[in-house]
Chain A
Amino acid sequence: MKKYEILPHPAELRLRIYGKTIEELFSSATEAMAQILSPTAMKSELRIKNLELRIKLKSIDINSLLVDFLSEILAKSQINKCVYLVVSSKYKVVREKHEFQAELTKYPVEKFDEDIKAITYEDLDIKKIKGIWLTNLVFDI
C-alpha cells in the first residue's frame, strides 16, 4: 500500500496520506514530510541512533493532533537540521482528549530541498474508508 501521493494545489503542496491504522497514518505523514524536506537524507548512513526524539502530545481532536504532531517535528527538523521518521507510536483517546506518543529517529540534513513553512488544516479530514485511514494534508511551502 502506498504511504502518500501528491495532489494538485495552486500554490501549496497537497498530499493524500494513507495508513492501515492511525499510528501508520501519522507515520506515513511524517515520512512524506521528511521526503519533501530532504529526499536524500534517509539514504544516508549517518542516522543518529542515540539521539532519538520522543514526542507526547494531546489535542482537541484527531485532525488537530496530526497538525500539532507534524508541526512539532517540522520545528525540530529546522532547528536541529535533520529529518525524522517514526520508529514506534501509540494513539489513544483519554477523557475526550486525543493523545499521541511516538519515538522517532533522525537523519542529518546538509541542505533542505524544500522549505515547508507550516502544516495547515486545509482539506484535513482523517477518516476510514474501506479499512484504510486516509486524509488530505496541505503544507504551506
Chain B
Amino acid sequence: MIAKNNLIKISDYLWEIPKTFRSDMRVPARIYASEKMLESVFKDKSLEQLVNLTTLPGIEKYALVMPDVHEGYGSPIGGVFATRASDPLRQGSSEASGIISPGAVGYDINCGVRLLKSDVSADEIKNRLDDLATEIQRNVPSGLGRGRKIKLSVNELDKILENGAQELIKQGYGKKEDMENCEANGRLEWADANEVSDTAKNRGRDQVGTLGSGNHFLEIQKVEEIFDENAAKIFGLFKNQAVVMIHTGSRGLGHQIATDYIRLMLQVMPKYNIHLPDKELACAPFNSPEGQKFFKAMACGANFAWANRQMITHYIRESWKKVFLNENNENLEVLYDVAHNIAKLEDGLLVHRKGATRAFPPSAGRSEPTARQSPPSHPEIPKKYKEIGQPVIIPGSMGTASYILHGTEKGKEAFYSSCHGAGRTMSRHQALKTLKGQEIIKNLENKNIIVKCYSIRGIAEEAPQAYKDIDEVVEIVHQANLSKKVARLVPLAVIKGE
C-alpha cells in the first residue's frame, strides 16, 4: 500500500513518489492534488496503478495523475504519461523502445466533450426549457435499444473511420466552422480502416449519433460566472449565456478496437521482451508493426467519436430549431471539442491520456521560441484562439457545475494536460445501495434543474454525491497553473441515456 509518507511534497498542489519506491519503476510518479484531496486518493488502487505506469518501456520524465484521479483498470482514470516515439525498434534487447498501450488510452477511445454556444441568454429560453430537453431526449438515441436512426454500410462506416466528423460535414450534418473548432479538425489523418476488425465495425454500424449510458450526458447549461473577461470574449462566452454540453465517445466500435488490440499486444509482448505488472497495460513498441497498427486503428476510433458528437450536434440543432421555430435564435456554434481518452504525437513524444484533457497554450507542441520570435501556435489550435490557447472543457457530475479553462505554458510540466471531470469517489453499486433516484431528481428539481432520464437507476449511479467536488478539482489545476479558469457553467437541464 502507498501511504502519505511515501510521497515527497513538491508544492501545495504537486506530490511525487520517487523512483526508488519500487524496483521496477523507470521514472518517478506525480500526483496533482491538494493535501485535503490527497486523502481520497489513498482509498482506492489509484496510486498503485499510477506506479504501474512508470514501469512502461520508453516512458519519459514521470507518469502523473490529475486531481480527479480514481481507480480504473490498467491506468488509473486521470492518468497521463509520454513515451519516446522516435525510439528505433529494438527486438529482444534489454533496452526498451517507447511503447503504445491501448489500455492506457482506455476502451472508450476519444471519449470527450463538445460545447455548443447559443446567441441567447438562459432567461430567453427558460419558458421553453422543458420542451427543449424533451425534444433533445427524443431526438438523440441512447443506442442501447433497438431502432436506431442510422445503420451504415461497411463502406459508409469506413469513410467515417478515415475522415471522421469531416465526412458528416460533407454529407450536410454540420458546417465547416464546426470542424475548425474541433481538436484535430475532427479527423486524425493517419486512420486506416483496414486495421479495424469486422467485429468492431459491426458493433459501430448503428451507433453514430448515439449517447450511450453511464456518465455520458447532454446538458443545457448557462454561463454562471466569468473569471477571465478577455479569454471569455475570445471564446465567445458571456454571462448568463445558454450553452449545450455533449459528453460521449466512440461507443461499441471504440470498445472493440481496444479489446482487439489489448489481445494482440498480450500475444506479442514476449517477442519484444516486455514484462508488465498489469496485463491491462499490454503494449508494443510504437514503431513495431503491432504498435503502428493500433495507432491507425485508434485513430479510426477517435474519428468515429468526433463523428458521433457531430451527429449529436446535428440532432440538437434540429431540436433547438423545432422548439424555437421563428424565434431567430437557432444559432448553435461549436466552442471546442476535445478528447480525454487518446494517445497523440506531441513534440516528439507519444502522450497517453486516459481521463485527462489536452490543454495547449498558444505556443505548445513546438520547440521553444527564441527571444526575437513570438511563440508559434500549435497547428491544432483554431486561429481565433491563438492568442489565449485551447479551450479546456471540464464537465462536472450530474447537476453540478462544469468549467471552461484555457491552456498555459506551465502546463508543459504535465505534458499540456488538465483534469477531465470530477472523478468518482463512490462505486456505482454503493451509490445504488445508498442513494435513491427519485430523491436525487427531487433535489435537482428543487435547484430548478430539469432531469430527463429513462432510468431511475442511472440517476442514482451518477448522483453528484458519488463524485468529488468539481470546484475543488478545478481549483487545483487552476492553482497549479496547468490551465486557468475562464468560466463556470451550471446545469439547467440534464439529459441522460439509460
Residue positions of A touching B, CB distance < 8 A: 6-14, 60, 63-64, 67-68, 71, 75, 78-79, 81, 110-115, 117-124, 138, 140-141
Q: Is the interface of B mostly helix, strand, loop or mixed?
A: mixed
B203 touches A79 (CB 8 A): yes
B498 touches A79 (CB 8 A): no
* Min CB gap B234→A, angstroms: 35
A10 touches B424 (CB 8 A): yes
Given contacts A12-B73, A75-B203, contact A112 B108 (CB under 8 A): no
Given contacts A75-B256, A115-B214, contact A122 B424 (CB under 8 A): no
Q: What are 14 of the A-B contact pairs (CB < 8 Å)?
A: A9-B429, A10-B44, A12-B73, A64-B266, A75-B202, A79-B202, A115-B498, A117-B108, A117-B252, A118-B255, A120-B280, A121-B74, A121-B279, A141-B428
A140 touches B71 (CB 8 A): no
- Enumerate chain B residues within 8 angstroms of A71, measured Cβ to Cβ: 259, 263
- Enumerate chain B residues within 8 angstroms of A117, measured Cβ to Cβ: 107-108, 252, 255
Chain B 102-130 residues near chain A, CB threshold 8 A: 106-108
A11 touches B424 (CB 8 A): yes
B429 touches A11 (CB 8 A): no
- Enumerate chain A residues within 8 angstroms of B71, measured Cβ to Cβ: 9-11
Q: Which of B73, B143, B255, B424 has the most CB of A within 10 A?
A: B73
Q: Which listed residue (A9, A64, A112, A118) contacts B145, Cβ 8 A?
A: A112
Q: Which listed residue (A11, A68, A79) contacts B70, Cβ 8 A?
A: A11
* Min CB gap B46→A, angstroms: 8
* Interface flags, B134-154, vs A, CB<8A=1, else 0: 000000000111100000000
Q: Which listed residue (A6, A68, A140) contacts B73, Cβ 8 A?
A: A140
A9 touches B427 (CB 8 A): yes
Give bound CA distance, A141 to B266, whole Å. Answer: 22
A118 touches B280 (CB 8 A): no
- Enumerate chain B residues within 8 angstroms of A60, measured Cβ to Cβ: 266-267
Given contacts A112-B145, A113-B498, A122-B74, contact A140 B425 (CB under 8 A): no
Give bound CA distance, A13 to B145, whole Å. Answer: 21
- Enumerate chain B residues within 8 angstroms of A11, measured Cβ to Cβ: 70-72, 77, 424, 427-428
B429 touches A13 (CB 8 A): yes
Given contacts A78-B203, A118-B255, A140-B255, contact A112 B266 (CB under 8 A): no
Q: Which listed residue (A67, A111, A120) contacts B144, Cβ 8 A?
A: A111
Give bound CA distance, A118 to B278, whole Å. Answer: 17
- Enumerate chain B residues within 8 angstroms of A114, measured Cβ to Cβ: 213, 498
- Enumerate chain B residues within 8 angstroms of A13, measured Cβ to Cβ: 428-429
A10 touches B427 (CB 8 A): yes
Give bound CA distance, A7 to B44, whole Å. Answer: 13
* Interface flags, B245-268, vs A, CB<8A=1, else 0: 000000010011011001100110
- CB nearest neighbor in A for B269: A60
- Enumerate chain A residues within 8 angstroms of B430, measured Cβ to Cβ: 8
- CB nearest neighbor in A for B455: A113
Q: Which of A10, A68, A141 has the most CB of B within 10 A?
A: A10
- CB nearest neighbor in A for B432: A6
- Enumerate chain B residues within 8 angstroms of A119, measured Cβ to Cβ: 259
- Enumerate chain A residues within 8 angstroms of B202, measured Cβ to Cβ: 75, 79
- Enumerate chain A residues within 8 angstroms of B497, measured Cβ to Cβ: 115
* Min CB gap B58→A, angstroms: 22
B107 touches A118 (CB 8 A): yes
6 smallest beta-carbon distances between A and B, as pairs: A122-B73, A111-B145, A121-B279, A118-B107, A117-B255, A115-B213
Chain B 88-105 residues near chain A, CB threshold 8 A: none
* Min CB gap B453→A, angstroms: 13
Chain B 419-441 residues near chain A, CB threshold 8 A: 424-430
- Enumerate chain A residues within 8 angstroms of B203, measured Cβ to Cβ: 75, 78-79
